[in-house]
Structure 1
Amino acid sequence: MYAILDIETTGGKYNEEGITEIAIYKYDGHQVVDQFISLINPERDIQPFVVNLTGINSNMLRNAPKFYEVAKRIVEITEDCILVAHNAQFDYRILVTEFRRLGYEFTRETLCTVELSKNLIPNQASYSLGKLVRSLGIPVTDRHRASGDALATVKLFKMLLDKDSSKQIIQESIRLNPKRQLEPRHIDIIEDLPSVTGVYYIHKADGEIIYIGKSNNIKKRINQHFTSTNHKSKKIQLHATAVTYEATGSELVALLKESEEIKRNKPIYNRALRRTIFTHALYSFVDDQNYINLKIDKVDGRKKPITTFSNRDSAKSFMTKTVEEYNLCQKLTGIYKTKSSCFKYDIKECHGACIGEETPELYNKRVESFINKNSYKNKNMVIIDKGREIDERSAIYIENGVFKGVGFFNLNYQINNIDVLESIITPMQNNRDTQHIIQNYMRKNKRLKVIQFDKKS
């Protein structure tokens, strides 16, 4: 659990500043579950430059509560939380100083979104809150007011959690949270989980991830883990003390994240070296008569496939539909083995490429159209899919045929600037598994929105 906050102060000498406004959003990693926002009477003058910056003046604070009147609420809302702030060292110092004046020792673990941003979103022109969130397409209102800045920090932190592929933030949070150290009943864990699409992480008491999975219903899937009697499930049940999750909305994003993070984190109860998730591929070659032939074969790492399949049966089923859709020849697609004409020619449904009646130029145009649709080789495009919320969409970014990563954007913020797109994207590995996942998903979901763009100069 996190307490994401922002504090406005009077300015002035170091450790003599007073708080003029505070905003705290209690955040469980997915949504805000509590909040506290208040002006505070600092009982001292406000520096003129601060008045100009924030718009908060002494008249506004005359009837505001003093710090001691809100101190109990601040302690309660931040209890068992990690404090998160943009330049956390400053906000934490101010809070500790105010509590010390009351004779109370206030101690919390902290996370700084400036430091996290420099690590997870490198090469930004500026890491000031205003400039950073603007460059990332994060909407911000009431800049330099505690509530507006704290809410922008919530949205920034949510993006940083997405980008933390190694899950260090989450693992550290579990380790530090004393309530997580108790051995909870599995029913208590399941009760707190949502029935959403995403990736889930099963942890030991020290925060270590012992299993990663993907599901369209996380609550139901974890329930299966905790009730199954197979050998692996029993081992998971023995060590599981917490389950965290990352909602994705999109099944494609969940599949890609699961594949990437199993490879990256190597959890003990996932297979150490996960087998390739596809066995067969579709290849093309040009025969002696200059016709482009298509052939299903076992995966060969030395060749570049058009697309890949989980098994031979799914490959054959796909090719049968392709022959119908593109009016291709059964013989030249390997479906009908013959030395003469194919069966479809005999029933007048093939133009005769199998016996040279249709020219290679005409036939190959249809084959090339099929290849172009089913391969993203050399393409620059963004696949748009469901987001985690109604007003959000996910973006799967491919540049020059290379999968770059995934990100989320608000529907009010149009993705038409490649530099902004690259900023919101969480970089991910491009490999044969990711190519298979993307192509397989696109085959099954023909209504996906795909935006193609010109390559950057």
Structure 2
Amino acid sequence: MYAILDIETTGGKYNEEGITEIAIYRFDGHEIVDQFSSLINPERSIQPFVVNLTGINNQMLRNAPKFYEVAKRIIEITEDCTLVAHNAKFDNRILTTEFDRLGYKYEKKTLCTVELSKKLIPDLPSYSLGKLVKSLGIPLTDRHRAQGDAKATVTLFKMLLNKDTQKNIIQAAVRKNPKRQLEPKLLDFIAEAPTETGVYYMHRDDGKIIYIGKSKNIKKRLTQHFTSDNRKSKRIQKEVASVSYEKTGSDLIAQLKESEEIKSNRPVYNRALRKSTFNHQLTSFKDENGYINLKIEKADARKKAITTFTNYQQAKAVLFKITEAYKLCQKLNGLHKTQGSCFQYSIKACNGACIAAEPPEAYNRRVQQFIDETSYKNQNMLIIDRGRDVEERSVVLIEAGQYKGFGYFNLNHQITNPEILKTLINPMQNNRDVQHIIQNYLRKNKKVKTVKLS
């Protein structure tokens, strides 16, 4: 649990500043679950330059509550939380100083979004909150007011959690709160899990990830893990001390994250998924009569594949559908062994390429149409899919046929502006596994929106 906050102060000498405004959002890693904001009477004058910066003046604070009047609420909303702020060292020092004046020891672990941004989004020209969120396409209203700055920091932190593929932030949180993670039983993990699409992470008590999975219904999948009596499940049940998760909205993003993060984190119970997720591929060749033939083969990295399949049965079923949809020849595609015409020709669903009744040029145009529509080789495109809430969409970026990564956006200008799009995308590894995942997803989900880039 995180308490994401922003504090405005009077300015003045070090450790003599007073709080003029505070905003805190209690954030569970996925959504805001509680919030508090208030002007505060600092019982001292505000520096003139601060008035010009924030717009908060002494008159506005005359009837505002004093810090001791809101202290209890601050303690409650930040209980069991890591404090998160943009320049967390400053906000934590100010808050600790105010509690010290009341004789109360206030100690919290902190995370700084400036430091996290420099690590996870390197080489930006500025990491000040205003310039950083602008470069990322994050809306920011009421700059230099606590509520506006804190809300923008929530959105920024959510993006940083998403970019943290090594899961260092989550693993650190588990290590910092071991007592809480050891107490819940398996039923507690199931009860707390969402029924939504996403990726889940099982941790040992030292925070280390031992298993990564994805599901369209995380709660249902965890129930299967924790009620199964096979050897692997029993070992996981005994060892797991905590479960964290990330909602993705899109099943495509969940599959891509699972593939990337298993390879990156190498969890002990994910050995099978460290290998390739497909074993057959579709290739093409031109026969002696000039016709392009489609052929199912075992996966071979040395050969260029049009698309890939999990197994031979899936490949054969899909090739039958392709042959029918594009009015191709079963004989040329290896689906009907015959010396004469194919079955499709007998029902007038094939134009006769099997007996050279159709010219190769006409037949090959339809084959090439299929290849162009199926393979994203050399294409620049965006795949737009569901986001984590109704206002959000997910985006997968393909450049020159290479998978570059994924991200989320709320406003169309974020993906039509190349500079903002670049910062929204979490860079990911391009490999044959992710190509298989993307092609398989597009093949099964015809209604998914794709946008060609120039």
Are 2:427 and 1:430 aligned?
A: no
Question: Which residue number in structure 2 is paired with residue 159 of structure 1?
Answer: 159
1:181, distance to aligned residue in structure 2 (A): 4.3
Of the structure 1 ranges 378-387 and 356-365, higher mean CA displacement relative to structure 2 is found in 356-365
Correspondences of 1:65-104 after superposition (within 5 Å): 65-104=65-104
**What amino acid maps onto 2:319 in structure 1?**
M
CA displacement, residues 146-193 of structure 1 (integer Å, 9 cap, x when unaligned): 011001000000000000001010010111125424332211221111
SS of residue paired to 2:89: helix
Question: Which residue number in structure 2 is paired with residue 360 of structure 1?
Answer: 360
How many residues are matched? Answer: 454
CA displacement, residues 381-401 of structure 1 (integer Å, 9 cap, x when unaligned): 010011110111110111110
Aligned partners of 2:48, 2:123: CA distance in 1, in Å?
34
CA pair 272-345 structure 1, distance change in 2 beyond 3 A:
closer
1:226, distance to aligned residue in structure 2 (A): 1.1
Q: Is the 8 A contact 2:178 2:205 kept in 1?
A: no
CA displacement, residues 343-402 of structure 1 (integer Å, 9 cap, x when unaligned): 323443322222322222111111100000110000000100111101111101111100
Aligned partners of 2:265, 2:347: CA distance in 1, in Å?
56
Aligned partners of 1:177, 1:412: CA distance in 2, in Å?
40
Question: Which residue number in structure 2 is paired with residue 448 of structure 1?
Answer: 448
Aligned partners of 1:347, 1:145: CA distance in 2, in Å?
73
Q: Is the 8 A contact 1:204 1:240 kept in 2?
A: yes
Aligned partners of 2:218, 2:409: CA distance in 1, in Å?
23
**What amino acid maps onto 2:100 in structure 1?**
R
Question: Which residue number in structure 2 is paired with residue 222 of structure 1?
Answer: 222
Correspondences of 1:56-71 after superposition (within 5 Å): 56-71=56-71
**What amino acid maps onto 1:175 in structure 2?**
R
Question: Which residue number in structure 1 is paired with residue 391 of structure 2?
Answer: 391
Scaled by the length of structure 2, what TM-score is found?
0.97
Question: Which residue number in structure 1 is paired with residue 22 of structure 2?
Answer: 22
Aligned partners of 1:304, 1:43: CA distance in 2, in Å?
72
Runs of at least 5 residues in structure 1 that lack an aligned partner in the other structure: none
Question: Which residue number in structure 1 is paired with residue 317 of structure 2?
Answer: 317
Q: Is the 8 A contact 1:295 1:333 kept in 2?
A: yes
Identity of aligned residues (%): 68
Question: Which residue number in structure 2 is paired with residue 405 of structure 1?
Answer: 405
Correspondences of 1:261-300 after superposition (within 5 Å): 261-271=261-271, 274-300=274-300
CA pair 148-412 structure 1, distance change in 2 beyond 3 A:
farther
CA pair 307-97 structure 1, distance change in 2 beyond 3 A:
same
Question: Which residue number in structure 1 is paired with residue 205 of structure 2?
Answer: 205
**What amino acid maps onto 1:99 in structure 2?**
F
1:43, distance to aligned residue in structure 2 (A): 1.2
Aligned partners of 1:191, 1:301: CA distance in 2, in Å?
43
Of the structure 1 ranges 167-176 and 182-191, higher mean CA displacement relative to structure 2 is found in 182-191
SS of residue paired to 1:295: strand
CA pair 350-272 structure 1, distance change in 2 beyond 3 A:
closer
Question: Which residue number in structure 2 is paired with residue 107 of structure 1?
Answer: 107
Q: Is the 8 A contact 1:80 1:178 kept in 2?
A: no
Question: Which residue number in structure 2 is paired with residue 39 of structure 1?
Answer: 39
Question: Which residue number in structure 1 is paired with residue 125 of structure 2?
Answer: 125
Aligned partners of 2:162, 2:120: CA distance in 1, in Å?
10
1:413, distance to aligned residue in structure 2 (A): 4.7
SS of residue paired to 1:11: coil
**What amino acid maps onto 1:225 in structure 2?**
H
Of the structure 1 ranges 69-78 and 255-264, higher mean CA displacement relative to structure 2 is found in 69-78
Are 2:301 and 1:305 aligned?
A: no
**What amino acid maps onto 2:115 in structure 1?**
E
CA pair 42-287 structure 1, distance change in 2 beyond 3 A:
same
Aligned partners of 1:405, 1:108: CA distance in 2, in Å?
34
Of the structure 1 ranges 227-236 and 356-365, higher mean CA displacement relative to structure 2 is found in 356-365
SS of residue paired to 2:3: strand
Aligned partners of 1:376, 1:412: CA distance in 2, in Å?
23
Q: Is the 8 A contact 2:182 2:242 kept in 1?
A: no
Q: Is the 8 A contact 1:81 1:177 kept in 2?
A: no
Aligned partners of 1:324, 1:180: CA distance in 2, in Å?
58
**What amino acid maps onto 1:302 in structure 2?**
R
Moved over 4 A (4+): 411-414
Scaled by the length of structure 1, what TM-score is found?
0.97
Once superposed, what is the RMSD of the aligned Cα atoms? 1.4
Aligned partners of 1:351, 1:103: CA distance in 2, in Å?
89
Aligned partners of 1:5, 1:269: CA distance in 2, in Å?
37
Aligned partners of 1:68, 1:346: CA distance in 2, in Å?
88
Q: Is the 8 A contact 1:25 1:32 kept in 2?
A: yes
**What amino acid maps onto 2:344 in structure 1?**
K
Aligned partners of 2:146, 2:103: CA distance in 1, in Å?
25
Runs of at least 5 residues in structure 2 that lack an aligned partner in the other structure: none
Question: Which residue number in structure 2 is paired with residue 174 of structure 1?
Answer: 174
Of the structure 1 ranges 61-70 and 366-375, higher mean CA displacement relative to structure 2 is found in 61-70
